[in-house]
Each structure stands twice: as C-alpha cells, then as structure tokens.
Amino acid sequence: MPDLVTRAVETPRSAVWLDTGGASGPSVLAVGDTRPDQPTCFALPPIYPEWLGDRALLAAHPARFCYVVGEMARGIATPRMVVAAVQAGCFGFYGSAGLPLTEIKTGLHEIRSALGPAESAWGANLIHSPQEPGQEAAVVDLFLAEGVRRVSASAFMRLTPDVIRYTALGLEQQAGGTITRRNHIFAKVSRAEVAEPFMAPAPEKMLRELVASGKISEKQADLASKVPVAAEITAESDSGGHTDNRPAAVLFSSLSAARSRVAARHGFDESMIRIGLAGGIATPSAVAAAFQMGAAYVLTGSVNQSAVESGLSEAGRKLLAKAGPADVAMAPAADMFEQGVEVQVLKRGTLFAMRGKKLHGFYRAGASYETLGPADRKWLDDVLGEVFDAAWASTKSYIQRVNPAEAERAETDGNKRLALVARRYLFQGAQWAREGDTKRTADYQIWCGPAMGAFNEWVAGTPLDPLENRSVRQIALNLLEGAARVTRAGQLRAMGFPVAPQHFSYTPQLFE
C-alpha cells in the first residue's frame, strides 16, 4: 500500500484531503472523493492533463489539450502526423515549409479529408522566405483558397504585408462590438523585439497600402488596427533546426515582459496575447515547468521526428533514438550558407555537422576548389562522392534555372562556386536522411535539439523506448500525464509536505 503522498501524486485526478496540522506539521488525510471526518480538513482539487495550460486557448481553438505538435519542414511533420495529433486531442501544424505548392495543397486536402471540415485544431506553416520572392504571397493565397484557418508564422524578423493580409482578411466585428478572427496566426519567435510587432496591431502604413491595392477592405484595416496581429506567440527556445539557442526560462520571461509593455502601450488586456513555449520540451518535468511559468501551451518538435508518423526515414529515426542530450551540434544552414546562418542538427551517427562546418570554413577563408591544397581537394571530392567539377556541373544546371544571375557570377568567382556546391551537398544531406539512403548515412542532415536526448533518457527501458511505439499520441499523452503528476508533486511540496525526488518522475506507459 503506497503512502498517501505517493498516492496523491500517482492519482492526480483525485482530490487530496489535507490538514495543515498543528505542531506535527501538515498531513495528507485521504486521497479520493470521500471527505474525511475531520472538521479542519480541506481539499486540494484534482488536476487533469486537460486543465494544464490556458483554457482560453482551447476555447479559441477547440482541442482537448494545450499541446501543439509543431511543424517540421519539407513534410517531416506529415499530414498523417497532423491527423494523429488532432485525433489525440492536440493541435498539429503541417510541415509545409520548403514543399512545392502542389504538394502543400495535396497535404492540406489529406488532412481535411481525414479530419472533416469542422475540425479546427490544425494549421500549416508559413515560413519567411526572403530568397524566394513571391513565395510567401503564393503560400498565403493557397492557405486562403484552401480555408486554412491557423498558420504558424516562423522565421520572420519583421512583419510582412502577406502576414497582415492573412490575418486582416479574417477579422469580423460581431453585433456587440467584439472583434473575432477567422484566420489565426501563431507567431514563432525567439526574441522580444521580433515578438513585439506581432503582439501589437498591424502598422498603419502597411494597412493603408493593403487597402490601396485592394487586398483588404477599409473595415478590415480598421479592425486590424485594434487587435494584436497574432493572439498566439510561440516562444522558440533552444530547439532543433533554426534556433537562437535561447534558454527557455529566459526567453519566456522576456516575452512575458514584452507582452506587458505592448499591452500597456496599446491599451490591451494582456489576456489578448497568449504565449506558448517550444524548445527542449520532451519530458514531463519540462511540460510541467512550462505551464508553471505561465505558458498557454507547449509545442514539441524534435521528439515527434522520431515518431512513427514522421516523414523521416526509419534509418534516420533509429539514429535519433540513440541520441543523448549533448549529441547535437550547430551546422551551416543549406539555404543561408553564405550568411553564416546555422541550424541545430543531430551529431551522433553522422558526420554532417563536422563536414558542414569544414566546408563553411573554406568558404569563409575565401577559398575556391582551385585554391585548396591537394589534401583538402581530396577530402572535398570524397565528401561530395564525386569530383568537384562533376558536382559543379549538376549544381550549375539547377542554379541556372532558379537564379541565373547567381550562376553567371559563379562562373568567374570560385569562392561562390564552392558555396553553391556546398549548399547543394547540405541540402542533399536532408534529402538522404528523409529517404534513408544507406550509402549516405555519414551525410545525413537531421535537424534535432537537445530535447531528443532528454526524451531518450526518460523513455529508456520503458514501452516508449522501441521506435514502433513512438506515436505522436503516445508521446503527447505520456508527457501530459507525467506533467499532471509533476504538477501535483510540486503543489504538495510547496505546501510543506516532504515529497521525494522520485515523485517528480513518471514512467511512460502505453495508453489505450
């Protein structure tokens, strides 16, 4: 028979009857529905995983849990993953970034036909794409045409007219004056200065231009000047893929302070802006801590990449399952190689990060293939799996199609040629990982944050250890169940009860 504190932690859905006690200190009298016959006793109410987070979020976007399965580029967050997330009672964002429009459209149809037109707990990703002029507008057009009502906007350093257009077109004023949204933005940010414009109303100048070009109406512009651009802000702390490597606790506090500033400046109620937390969320303690900090919702990424619904190959998922928290590294991003932008990737089991960094080192030093020494040239040919000239020929025919000016410049600029060939290699690294090309394991580019290792440590030796059991549903339900227990343990400890360290841990199980 477990002691009462253990039972109180293990059954968070039960009330706990307490007595603050006298000289002997506080005591747990009973766990369950029946009130003990003790006049001074009082109840600690049940905790349900469904109650963790901001319930106003669930009113705005009906779902069971304040838990979001985050978008993962190039369809790694597959339509199937989104459907599984929603069917588990969570939100899901489709990994539409980097996919051709036709494929995005097919994915959206797949999600809608599986979930039905009334289901609203899902959306897709609008990624800032400065290198591809017109792409954001085309994606927004597609989302509007397809009735995508929730968009996670990411990588934006500032607002763009297409973001404003999407949100403004969904604004309506109800009879009582309340402004409602049909198109919702979840803005993913990792800095307060980027978050603030999303928390504030759309800039007047941008609204005027959108009205002048006939893209939104006067009424929509007026409504957009009265509400935050995004009611949902996802604080992206140290995560897989593109990341500023911010610590979660620091970022969340910083964005909370930004919300207070913006709300005061614009006369908003702070509850008009909800902040969710992403990055490093992979254990019950992390989920509980996020909610304890005041996060409206949590968003997971890396852990879902190892799930059965992931678009990553089985070979890639097997590597992920072996990672520890320190088995990640920053490596050059394929699309912003020249600018020195980096992404967080899996280090263990692949040489991608090391090779990518060495390539970037050559580029930064101003080298071209022709100026490299014989040993470095050989290394490069080996990494590419073909001689540099052959790699350049394939790269050139692609670049000539998508960016002829860049291709022309590279003809006379060896350093640029090196960069373009390196970019192609980095890009292929992600493709080889998705496809599970066994000849290219050493070159797999798998975006991954330390969350993956924390998850692996937590589930080691439990039913969530085998890859085949890692569905987004099992992952989410275990994290949330565990978070409810950790929350209960924390409550009891804050009330003065001796709570053992093991009460803050939870062993995963398979849910029905």
CB 345 within 8 A of CB 447: yes
Q: How many CB atoms are closer than 10 A to CB 11? A: 18
Q: Which of 108, 223 has the CB closer to ligand FMN?
A: 108
CB 302 within 8 A of CB 69: no
Single out the residue of 260, 277, 279 nearest to residue 269, CA to CA.
260
Q: Which of 31, 320, 359, 448 binds ligand FMN (CB under 6 A)?
A: 448
Q: Which of 125, 428, 487, 491 binds ligand FMN (CB under 6 A)?
A: 125
* Ranges within 230-289 binding ligand FMN (CB under 6 A): 236, 239-241, 278-281
Q: Which of 11, 14, 78, 154 binds ligand FMN (CB under 6 A)?
A: 154
End-to-end CA distance of the chain, in Å?
26
* Interatomic CA distance for residues 162 and 141, integer angstroms: 9
101 in helix, strand or coil? helix
Buried b / exposed e along 23-52 (16+ C-beta atoms within 10 A): eeeebbbbbeeeeeeeeebeebeebebbbb
Question: Binding of ligand FMN at residue 474 (CB under 6 A)?
Answer: no
Q: Which of 227, 451, 464, 489 binds ligand FMN (CB under 6 A)?
A: 451
Q: Which of 44, 288, 299, 492 binds ligand FMN (CB under 6 A)?
A: 299
Question: Binding of ligand FMN at residue 140 (CB under 6 A)?
Answer: no
Q: Which of 18, 49, 71, 485 binds ligand FMN (CB under 6 A)?
A: 71
Q: Which of 127, 171, 192, 334 binds ligand FMN (CB under 6 A)?
A: 127
Question: Binding of ligand FMN at residue 126 (CB under 6 A)?
Answer: no
Question: Binding of ligand FMN at residue 300 (CB under 6 A)?
Answer: yes
Quote the tokens at residue 165. 């257009």
* Ranges within 475-504 binding ligand FMN (CB under 6 A): none
* Interatomic CA distance for residues 478 and 352, integer angstroms: 32
CB 446 within 8 A of CB 316: yes
Size of the residue set binding ligand FMN (CB under 6 A):
29
**Amino acid code (one letter) for 204:** E
Q: Which stretch binds ligand FMN (CB under 6 A): 9-17, 387-395, 446-454, 481-489?
A: 446-454
Quote the tokens at residue 241. 């893929």
Question: Binding of ligand FMN at residue 328 (CB under 6 A)?
Answer: no
Question: Binding of ligand FMN at residue 426 (CB under 6 A)?
Answer: no
Question: Binding of ligand FMN at residue 453 (CB under 6 A)?
Answer: no
Quote the tokens at residue 316. 């890639």
Q: What is the DSSP string of 494-511?
A: HTT----GGGG-------
Question: Binding of ligand FMN at residue 302 (CB under 6 A)?
Answer: yes
**Residue corresponding to tokens 């290394």:** 379
Question: Binding of ligand FMN at residue 162 (CB under 6 A)?
Answer: no
Contact residues: ligand FMN, CB under 6 A: 70-73, 76, 95, 97, 125, 127, 152, 154, 188, 236, 239-241, 278-281, 299-302, 305, 447-449, 451
